[in-house]
């Protein structure tokens, strides 16, 4: 069986096996229609017991239909703003509390893959799995001494099941798309294909081992993030063995608090690490649901300690897309809808030949209102809801390559909302982006900074610069926030090689119509004095010394 997904090849393969697809199609259609009828009849009920039963029906239907449908349910389980809380509680069971397959079969797969029985490879191997998920189940085994490991063994016959169901899901999706309450346009098939490719990547455990080691390298100097160590000699295409992580799953705020953990610091770590993966590393965990993230004891500079597990669903983003996304966030917050339209064009949401001028007021009307009066009022879910309105009437579409990116961001925000219903993702994300812009840590960031603080005529936008600084100063969620490192990085930028263009632009602001105008420079100096007073910098320096001492 091929370890890859190909929609055309797999459709042809299944078409010539009607004894397989006819019965399965009837099974899927009947199950989903039965569930839909139940929800239509009882969905408006105000009785808690009725919705509890509907949640169980949703869980049982997805579980019964198998891995592909369970994966869809897992995505829904991270969205408390889309799914009722009583349904959500049931859907969380899809993360790692599914019916296990017999340990006897698991041990047969282990011996076939690793070339020896479990009792020869491990000092201790349990009779029951400790967790059972959509694609495999995990055993807590012991190697030498007191070294415990997680052994994940893939479900039997999984490639066949995925191949069959992905073809049928695409078929059902395409014929039902005209009546679905969505407007994904012709991109729906591409999004299903992207889903299929990611699933087949996820069941290649050798690739997952590579992913885990690459992810660990990215966070090797970050004490807030833990990644389990891969045991290569006990891993294969269908088995992966890693060091055991002892932590608390990010499910309920009360559970974390009972264990003496701070949900706010954990949210901050999760969101910042997610943004860092997307906008800085260009390599991200595309499945950050509560079953794949564990809270650990301790804090570092106000950041809670998190452990990531399960690296089957990872993805990369190109340097161009990464930089453009960063710029789009800044342009949206600054309400630069001309530049935002260009960002959408670069990212493929708009055709390259599209006339952007008529779309600028549309973007302002639809997306501008999502920001509210303050930056912190921004909500990614609100943006996606409003953006869907654009797709009905204007030439926008979602590029297939963004399917996993959107899933990762939406899941991350959903996880945070689950722990704190008042959470605003931009309240954490924008200070991170603002700091990167103001330090100009890459040429790309410097280019975006110049777009932000200088207008088309080369004039200095003091209000924009002041806005970036205010975001950092008012970053109340970060108790260790201070401007001392920022002042040092900013000084290095202005005086360094990368700051050549910045120095040139600042010089040009002095020259207005053949005479020297000091107005903007005076405003800039006033802003610097206000935010970088010697006493404030001294306090920041002392704070840094204390942290280093610790």
The C-alpha angle with vertex 194 and arms to 274 and 74, in degrees rounded to 5, equals 60
Given the residues 287, 336, 343, 427, select the one marked as catalytic.
287
Highest mean predicted confidence (pLDDT) among 100-104, 352-356, 367-371, 530-534 = 100-104
pTM for this prediction: 0.79
| Predicted local distance difference test score (pLDDT) of residue 545 | 47
Q: Which residues pair with 303 in a beta bridge?
A: 300
287 a catalytic residue: yes
Region 412-418: mean pLDDT is 81
The C-alpha angle with vertex 194 and arms to 282 and 219, in degrees rounded to 5, equals 25
Q: Using CA atoms, how far apart are residues 132 and 156, in angstroms rounded to an integer?
A: 13
Per DSSP, the three-state class of 111 is: helix
pLDDT-derived band at 380 (thresholds 50, 70, 90) equals low
> pLDDT (tens digit, 9 = 90+) per residue, 197-223?
888 988 999 999 999 999 999 999 999
Q: How many CA atoms lie within 13 A of 296 on its CB side?
A: 21
pLDDT at 479 over 50: no
Question: In terms of C-beta distances under 8 Å and separation of at least 24 residues, what long-range contacts does 469-474 make, across chains too?
Answer: 469/434, 469/438, 469/527, 469/531, 471/375, 471/430, 471/431, 471/434, 472/431, 472/434, 472/435, 472/438, 473/531
Which range among 262-276, 310-324, 327-341 shows the weakest confidence by mean pLDDT?
Answer: 327-341
> pLDDT (tens digit, 9 = 90+) per residue, 114-152?
999 999 999 999 999 998 888 999 999 999 889 999 999
Percent of the chain with pLDDT over 70: 75
pLDDT-derived band at 99 (thresholds 50, 70, 90) equals confident
Percent of the chain with pLDDT over 90: 35
> pLDDT (tens digit, 9 = 90+) per residue, 147-183?
999 999 999 999 999 999 999 999 988 887 666 555 4
**Exposure b/e, 381-413, CB count within 10 A at least 16 = b:** bbbeebbbebbeeeebbbebbbbbbebbbbbbb
Considering only residues 87 and 472, tell me which one the structure prediction assigns the higher pLDDT. Answer: 87
Q: Using CA atoms, how far apart are residues 252 and 410, in angstroms rounded to an integer?
A: 18
Distances (CA, A) of 333 to 53, 325, 339, 366, 447: 42, 12, 12, 14, 17
DSSP state of 279: I
Q: Using CA atoms, how far apart are residues 60 and 56, in angstroms rounded to an integer?
A: 6
Q: Using CA atoms, how far apart are residues 127 and 96, in angstroms rounded to an integer?
A: 17
Average of per-residue pLDDT values in the chain: 81
Region 13-41: mean pLDDT is 94
CB of 304 closer than 8 Å to CB of 295: yes
Considering only residues 491 and 32, tell me which one the structure prediction assigns the higher pLDDT. Answer: 32
pLDDT at 71 over 60: yes
| Predicted local distance difference test score (pLDDT) of residue 110 | 97
Tokens of 247: 């932590």
């Amino acid at each position: 069986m091929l370890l890859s997904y190909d929609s055309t090849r797999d459709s042809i393969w299944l078409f010539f096996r009607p004894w397989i697809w006819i019965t399965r199609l009837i099974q899927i259609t009947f199950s989903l229609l039965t569930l839909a009828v139940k929800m239509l009849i009882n969905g408006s009920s105000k009785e808690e017991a009725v919705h509890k039963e509907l949640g169980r029906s949703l869980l049982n239907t997805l579980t019964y239909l198998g891995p592909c449908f369970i994966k869809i349910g897992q995505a829904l389980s991270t969205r408390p703003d889309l799914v009722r809380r009583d349904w959500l509680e049931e859907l969380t069971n899809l993360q790692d509390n599914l019916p296990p397959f017999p340990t006897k079969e698991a041990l047969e797969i282990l011996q076939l893959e690793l070339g020896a029985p479990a009792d020869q490879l491990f000092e201790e191997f349990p009779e029951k799995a400790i967790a059972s998920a959509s694609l495999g189940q995990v055993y807590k085994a012991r190697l030498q001494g007191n070294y415990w490991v997680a052994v994940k063994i893939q479900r039997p016959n999984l490639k066949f099941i995925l191949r069959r169901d992905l073809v049928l899901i695409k078929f059902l999706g395409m014929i039902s798309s005209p009546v679905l309450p969505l407007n994904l346009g012709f991109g729906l098939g591409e999004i299903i294909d992207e889903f299929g490719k990611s699933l087949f990547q996820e069941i290649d455990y050798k690739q997952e081992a590579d992913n885990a080691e690459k992810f660990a390298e990215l966070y090797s100097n970050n004490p807030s993030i833990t990644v389990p160590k891969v045991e290569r000699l006990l891993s294969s295409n269908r088995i992966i063995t890693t060091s055991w992580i002892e932590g608390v799953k990010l499910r309920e705020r009360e559970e974390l608090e009972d264990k003496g953990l701070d949900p706010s610091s954990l949210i901050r770590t999760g969101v910042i690490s997610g943004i860092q993966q997307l906008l800085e590393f260009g390599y991200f965990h595309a499945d950050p649901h509560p079953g794949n993230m564990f809270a650990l004891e301790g804090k570092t500079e106000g950041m809670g300690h998190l452990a990531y597990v399960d690296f089957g669903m990872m993805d990369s983003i190109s340097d161009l897309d990464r930089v453009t996304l960063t710029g789009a966030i800044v342009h949206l917050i600054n309400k630069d809808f001309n530049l935002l339209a260009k960002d959408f064009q670069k990212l493929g949401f708009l055709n390259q030949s599209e006339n952007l001028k008529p779309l600028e007021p549309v973007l302002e009307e639809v997306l501008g209102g999502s920001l509210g009066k303050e930056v912190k009022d921004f909500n990614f879910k609100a943006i996606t809801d409003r953006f869907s309105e654009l797709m009905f009437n204007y030439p926008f579409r979602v590029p297939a390559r963004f399917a996993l990116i959107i899933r990762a961001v939406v899941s991350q925000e959903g996880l945070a909302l689950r722990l704190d219903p008042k959470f605003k993702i931009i309240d954490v994300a924008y200070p991170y982006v603002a700091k990167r812009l103001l330090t100009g840590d890459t040429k790309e960031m410097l280019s975006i900074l110049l777009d932000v603080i200088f207008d088309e005529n080369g004039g200095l936008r003091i209000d924009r610069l002041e806005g970036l600084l205010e975001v950092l100063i008012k970053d109340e969620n970060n108790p260790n926030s201070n401007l001392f490192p920022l002042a040092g990085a900013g000084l290095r930028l202005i005086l360094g090689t990368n700051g050549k263009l910045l120095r040139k632009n600042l010089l040009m602001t002095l020259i207005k119509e053949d005479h020297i105008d000091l107005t903007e420079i005076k405003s800039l100096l006033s802003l610097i004095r206000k935010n970088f007073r010697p006493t404030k910098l001294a306090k920041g320096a002392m704070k840094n010394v204390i942290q280093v001492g610790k």
